[in-house]
A and B are shown apart, each in its own frame.
Chain A
Amino acid sequence: MLEELHRSLKLKSPQYIFTICVLTPVIAIYTIIRIIPIGGTIFLGFHKWDLINPAKPFIGLRNYIKLVHDELFIIAIRNTFILALLSIVISLGIALGLALILNRRKMRFAPVYELIYFLPFIISWVPLAVIWKWMYDPTYGILNYVIGLVGMRPQGWLVNPKLSLYSIIILVVWRNLGLATVLFSVGLKNIPAEYFDAAIVDGASGFKLFRDIIFPLLKPITLYLFVMSTILNFAIFSPVYVMTIGSQGAPGNAVRVLVYDLYENGFRYLHMGYAAAEATLLLLIVLVLTLVEFRSMRYEV
C-alpha cells in the first residue's frame, strides 16, 4: 500500500515539479497584479488618504456616506445608468433586427454585411472617439451638414450639455452594433432548420415564429450580450475622456460617468480612499451582474 503510494508519487513527481515551476510565477504575479489590488482597493475604501499624508485613518463607511451626498457622484451614476441601458437596449434591438434579416433564407451577401458592420468594433476607443469628435464639430462637422440636407438645424452635439451624453451613446451603439449582430447571427444559425419547418407547417405566422421559437432559443445569447455589455458600459472611460478633453470637447459634468469621476477623484484631487470606495461600488455592480448571469445560465441547463 505504502509502496504503491510511493511508486505513484515517484511516477508523478515530474508532473508536480512542472506544476510548481509553472504555477509559482503565475500565482505570484497574479496575486500582485490582481488579488492584492482588488482586495487593497476595497480596504482603502474604508480609509481617508490623500496619497502624500502618511496618516491614513480608518473612517468606516464615511466615504460611502459622503458619496451618496456628492452631487457629482450622483450625476456620474445617473449618466452611467442612462448610457449603459440606452446603448444596450438600442444596439441589441437593432442588432436583433439585422440578424433576423441577414439570416433569412437565400439572403445574399450576408457575410459581407456582417463583416462591414463588424469593422468599428475592431478599432480601439480612442481613434473612434477622435473621428466622431471631428464629425460632431458644431461649426465644421460633417454631421451638421448631413442633417442640414434633410432640413434640420445644426446641433452642438458635444458642446450642448443636453445632447452630449446622447452623442456618446450614438458612438457606443455604432461601435457595438456589429458585435451584437454577429453574435445574434450565430445564435440564429444554431437553431435547427426543422424547428422552422415544423412551425411553418403548423401555420405559424412570422410574429408567432419569433415569439415562440426564435426568442426563447436566443435567450442565452441575449442574456450573455446584455450582461457583458452592461459590465463594459459601466466601466466605460476612454471615449468619454477623449470626448471631454480639449476646447471642442463636451462639458465634463454633462458626460461624467462613474470611472471618469473615480479617475478625477483619485488622480486629479488625490482623494485615494474616496476614489477607492467608488471603485468598490463598480466592483460590486460587476459582481452582481456576473452572478445574475451565472444564476440564469444554471436555470437554462
Chain B
Amino acid sequence: MRLETKRVFGMTKELLIHIFLILIAITMIFPFFWMFCTALKPSTEVLSWPPVILPQHPTLENFIAVFTKWPFARFFFNSILITSVATFCILLTSSAAGYVFAKIKFFGRDLIFYIILATAIIPIQSYLIMLYLIIVKFQWINTYQGILAPLIIMSFGIFFLRQNIYAIPDESIDAARIDGASEFFIYFRIILPMTGSALAALGIYAFSVTWAQFIWPLVVVNTKEMYTTELGLAMFQKRFTVEYGAISAATAVCMVPALIMFIVFRRGIVRGVTLTGIKG
C-alpha cells in the first residue's frame, strides 16, 4: 500500500516535470509557429482581434509579395555568394595555417600563433570604424570584396584546426616526407583527408557565422542590390512596418537555410557548438 502511494507520487512528479519542460518547449517553438501562420494569412486575417492562430484561408500572396516588392532573390544570391566564398576561404586558410602551426617548427611560430589566437575574441564592433576607413581607401565600399574582406580569415578556425592537426601522429607525415612527398602533397593528401570531420564542423560554423553578419554589411553596403538577406530583411521590415503578413513571409524565407542545416545536422550542430564554444 505504501509502495503504491509512493509510485503514484513519483508518477505525478514525473508528469509535472514533463509538463514544465513541454511548456518551455512551446515557448521556444511558438514564435516560429506564429510567424509561419501569419505568413500564410491574407492581410485581412493578419490584423484580426482576437487573433486566430491558424490561417483560415491560407494563401501564398505574402510570399509572392516578398519577391515582387523587394529583390529578395537578389539578397539570397548575395548572401549565398558571400557565405560560400567566405566559408571556402576560412576552411583553406584555417587548415593550411593550422598545419603550419601544428607540424612545422620555425622561429617565432608560437608568437604569431598566439597573436592570432589573442585577437580571436575581439568582436568586429570594436574595430568597425577603422575597418570601414580601410575599405574606403581600397574603394571597396558597396562591393562583394568589401563585404568579404574581413570575413575570409577566422582566428578561431586556425586555432580549431591546429588543435585537430596536432593530434595527427607525426609518423605518417614523416614517412611521407622521407618518401619525397612535397609539403603541398602532404597537406592535400594526408592532412585534409584526416581532418574531414573537423573541416565539416568548421564549415557549418563558418557558414552560419558569415550568414548572420549584420553590422558590417550595414555600414559597407549602400544600395539595395548589394544587401545580404539579413540586411534586406531588416530594411524590408523598416520599409513595410505594419505589413506583418509580408514581413513574416520574408522572415520565414530568410530562416530557410539555417533551418535546413538544423534539420540535416541536428545532433551534430548541438555537439559541434559544445565543442567549438559560442563565439559569434
- Are A134 and B233 closer than 8 Å at their CB atoms? no
- Are A126 and B214 closer than 8 Å at their CB atoms? yes
Q: A119-B262, A279-B128 are in contact. Are A113 and B21 (CB under 8 A)?
A: yes
Interface string of B158-169 (1 = CB under 8 A from A): 100000000000
CB distance from B124 to the nearest CB of A (A): 8
Interface presence of B144 (CB below 8 A): no
- Are B100 and A23 closer than 8 Å at their CB atoms? yes
Cβ-Cβ contact count across A and B, 8 Å cutoff: 259
Residues of B in contact with A, size category: 35 or more
Interface string of A121-143 (1 = CB under 8 A from B): 11111111011111101011010
Interface residues of B in 33-54 (CB under 8 A from A): 34-35, 38, 46-47, 49-51, 53
Interface presence of B134 (CB below 8 A): yes
Q: A33-B150, A40-B130 are in contact. Are A245 and B234 (CB under 8 A)?
A: yes
Report the Cα distance A283→B131, complex, angstroms. 14
- Are B274 and A241 closer than 8 Å at their CB atoms? no
Interface presence of A67 (CB below 8 A): no
Residues of A in contact with B, size category: 35 or more
Q: In terms of DSSP, what is the predominant structure of the interface of chain A?
A: helix
Q: Within 8 Å CB of A116, what residues of B?
A: 25, 28-29
CB distance from A42 to the nearest CB of B (A): 9
Q: A41-B126, A111-B267, A126-B230 are in contact. Are A245 and B237 (CB under 8 A)?
A: yes
Interface presence of B194 (CB below 8 A): no
Interface centre among B38, B126, B267, B274 (most CB of A within 10 A): B126
Report the Cα distance A229→B121, complex, angstroms. 12
Q: A30-B116, A41-B130, A131-B32 are in contact. Are A115 and B266 (CB under 8 A)?
A: yes
CB nearest neighbor in B for A293: B121
Interface residues of A in 1-58 (CB under 8 A from B): 14-19, 22-23, 25-27, 29-30, 32-41, 44
Interface residues of A in 238-287 (CB under 8 A from B): 238, 241-242, 245-248, 259, 262-263, 266-267, 272, 275-276, 279-280, 282-283, 286-287
- Are B131 and A33 closer than 8 Å at their CB atoms? yes
CB distance from A259 to the nearest CB of B (A): 5
Residues of B within 8 A of A (CB): 17-18, 20-21, 24-25, 27-29, 31-32, 34-35, 38, 46-47, 49-51, 53, 93, 96-97, 99-100, 104, 106, 112, 115-116, 119, 121-123, 125-134, 149-150, 152-153, 155, 158, 182-184, 187, 208, 211-212, 214-215, 218-219, 230-231, 233-234, 237-238, 241-242, 244, 247-248, 250-251, 254-255, 258-259, 261-262, 266-267, 269-270, 273-274, 277-279
Residues of A within 8 A of B (CB): 14-19, 22-23, 25-27, 29-30, 32-41, 44, 98, 101-102, 108-109, 111, 113-128, 130-135, 137, 139-140, 142, 145, 174, 177-179, 182-183, 186, 224-225, 228-229, 231-232, 235, 237-238, 241-242, 245-248, 259, 262-263, 266-267, 272, 275-276, 279-280, 282-283, 286-287, 290
